[in-house]
Amino acid sequence: MRIATWNVNSLRSRIDRVERFLERHDVDVLALQETKAREDQLPLMGLQSMGYEVAAAGTNQWNGVAIISRVGLDDIQVGFPGQPGWAKQAGDPPEIESRALGATCGGVRVWSLYVPNGRKPDDPHYVYKLDWLARLREASGSWLDSPTALVGDWNVCPTDADVFDVAQFKNSTHVTPPERAAFQGFIDDGFADVVRPHAPGPDVYTYWDYYRQRFERNRGLRIDFVLGSPSFAERVSGAFIDTDERDPAQGTGSPSDHAPVIVDLSD
């Protein structure tokens, strides 16, 4: 089985790319982040004609997650237990954003995750990000005993090797000790970064800003991950990052600023 994750940065804008990607790589399950639409706004007919089922969660032009599968799509769950909310305006009640979606696909529990960005270390959104990760860790503890994959855009660079220039991020999110400690907590609990052994660094990234030809200069970040439970990790036979999907010279239209991450499982 082949599982992939991709922050697509608007599914409506890049549906043609998604369809070609699924076909080109013969993908069985694709988890998407930043779909940026309600489910009834998504162009799904092409995916369905290809034999895929789709589960999606989204409320507006921000956030949004989806799982596309041709090996089953069961026990769909929007949000994880204890997922915290975010108040967009001071005084508003916190709302649960469309950042987590779980489904069982071919016997594997897949969670498509879009971790909050955090914005700046002194921003309330940073506190929300750390709380979100802490609550996810609490919920995921009970998922370790079954084949489970936590996949998506984590918005964390776990090590200095995961950022093109640590000095440039000295006062920024993604590299702060609390964020890295939060990510490491999942590893300490028993989840494994199943891609890194097959895509070793240095200079291996999954995200490149559109600014100043960051992709062409390979000035990127590694923030998209597949973390697998022990029974998932032991089945991983290969993994890679499809940087062609980030290359503006490949395909038609503007690419997402993220590249897909792909994992192969043995039977």
Q: Place 79 in a pLDDT band, splitting at 50, 70 and 90.
A: very high
Whether residue 53 is predicted with pLDDT greater than 90 in this model: the reply is yes
∠ CA 72-196-34 to the nearest 5 degrees?
50
Q: Place 247 in a pLDDT band, splitting at 50, 70 and 90.
A: very high
SS (H, E, C) 5-41: EEECCCHHHHHHHHHHHHHHHCCCEEEEECCCCCHHH
- Residue ranges of domains in the chain, CATH in brackets: 2-265 (3.60.10.10)
Q: To which residue do tokens 């506190």 refer?
A: 127
Contact present, 163 and 174 (Cβ < 8 Å): yes
Predicted local confidence at residue 203, as pLDDT: 96
3-state helix, strand, coil in the chain (%, to 5): 30, 25, 45
Whether residue 61 is predicted with pLDDT greater than 90 in this model: the reply is no
Whether residue 265 is predicted with pLDDT greater than 90 in this model: the reply is yes
CA–CA distance, 207 with 34 (Å, rounded to integer): 14
pLDDT in tens, 103-133: 999 999 999 999 999 999 999 999 999 999 9
Whether residue 91 is predicted with pLDDT greater than 90 in this model: the reply is no
Tell me, what DSSP letter sits at residue 83? P
CA–CA distance, 58 with 99 (Å, rounded to integer): 8
65-69 vs 29-33, strand pairing mode: antiparallel
Nearest alpha-carbon partner for 136 in 198, 201, 183 = 183
Q: Place 28 in a pLDDT band, splitting at 50, 70 and 90.
A: very high
The alpha-helical segments, DSSP class H, found in the chain are 11-25, 45-49, 124-140, 177-189, 230-233
Mean pLDDT of 216-230: 98
Predicted local confidence at residue 252, as pLDDT: 80
Predicted local confidence at residue 251, as pLDDT: 80
Predicted local confidence at residue 253, as pLDDT: 84
The mean pLDDT of the chain is 96
Q: Within a 13 Å sphere around the CA of 66, how many CA atoms are in the beta-carbon half?
A: 33
pLDDT in tens, 123-170: 999 999 999 999 999 999 999 999 999 999 999 999 999 999 999 998
Predicted local confidence at residue 124, as pLDDT: 95
Mean pLDDT of 199-225: 96
Going from the C-alpha of 179 to that of each of 100, 123, 133, 134, 248, the distances in angstroms are 18, 14, 9, 10, 31
